[in-house]
Amino acid sequence: MTTPRNIIVAPSILAGDFGDFARDAQRVEQGGGDWLHCDVMDGHFVPNITFGPDTIAAFRKATKLPLDVHLMIERPDQYAERFMDAGADHLIVHLEAAHDVAKTLAQIRVRGKSAGLAINPATPVEKAWPFLGQIDELLVMTVHPGFGGQAFLPEILPKIRALRSAVAEDLPIIVDGGINPETGRQCVEAGANVLVAGNSLFRHKTLNLVEAIAELRKHATD
């Protein structure tokens, strides 16, 4: 029996309309999303490029939702300040990027923002142990980072379990990649409580965004 946790749904704007981000940010807010997940990619850390601090500033104007900014960039230490100035509420950096992880997390916390650590599918959980006392959220990639619309990797579930047993009961564990009502529920059972979802919400075959958010939330705890 797992302890019931507050489920947070964080729609990923990566699956939104790049020509009309402001509208999609508002749709997420009105549609019952809890956080807006924003994927920043630099073409180095991952083989894809999305957007930078100016776009985060545009999201900041469009919505009051907390902006959950996931930096898939090689040098998060060099850009953290700019993303925080732009309005990021949570700044998530990768363990595998080329920076002093502890220093970057401290740089984020000193600004009063939530410091998040992300780990890739291939990274063993043990690598996260040294940083657990320094983070406000943990993001476990459930696909290889870089693109939306990939299939969930079920072999990550034991990692989620191991991390949940190592962190405080109330530390948010975010799962990101291939999350839909079924995989989301498996992750929640394993100990995650924040569900990032792009394609399953924005491009649902039959449900609109409001309905898809509600379905994901409901199924996670049924």
Q: How far apart are CA 202 and CA 185, in angstroms?
A: 19
199 touches ligand DX5 (CB under 6 A): yes
Q: From 35-43, 52-60, 103-111, 200-208, give the range in contact with Zn ion by CB under 5 A.
A: 35-43
Binding region for ligand DX5 (CB under 6 A) out of 16-24, 25-33, 106-114, 193-201: 193-201
Q: Give the one entry of ligand DX5, Zn ion, none that residue 14 binds, where binding means its C-beta sits below a cut-off of 5 to 8 angstroms depending on kind.
A: ligand DX5
* Least Cβ distance, residue 154 to ligand DX5 (angstroms): 14
Q: Which residue lies nearer to ligand DX5 by CB, 46 or 108?
A: 46
Quick count: other Cβ atoms within 10 Å of Cβ 59? Answer: 23
Catalytic residue among 34, 39, 42, 77: 39
Residue 54 is among the residues annotated as catalytic for this protein: no
Per CB under 6 A, 146 contacts ligand DX5:
yes
CA dist list (Å): 136 to 58, 109, 116, 167, 172: 25, 9, 6, 10, 7
Indicate if the alpha-carbon torsion angle 147, 152, 153, 155 is positive or negative: positive
Q: Tokens 């948010």 sit at which residue?
A: 172
By beta carbon distance, the residue nearest Zn ion is 70
Residue 57 to residue 206: CA distance in whole angstroms: 32
89 is catalytic: no
DSSP string, 131-165: GGGG-SEEEEESS-TT-SSPPP-GGGHHHHHHHHH
Question: What are φ and ψ of residue 119, in 5° steps?
Answer: -130, 140
Beta carbon nearer to Zn ion, 62 or 174: 174
Q: Is 176 in the site for Zn ion (CB under 5 A)?
A: yes
Q: Are 33 and 212 in contact (CB under 8 A)?
A: no
With binding defined as CB under 6 A, does residue 123 bind ligand DX5? no
Q: Closer to Zn ion at the Cβ: 47 or 133? A: 47
Which chain residues interact with ligand DX5 by CB under 6 A? 12, 14-15, 37, 39, 70, 143, 145-146, 148-150, 176-179, 196-200
The catalytic residues are 39, 176
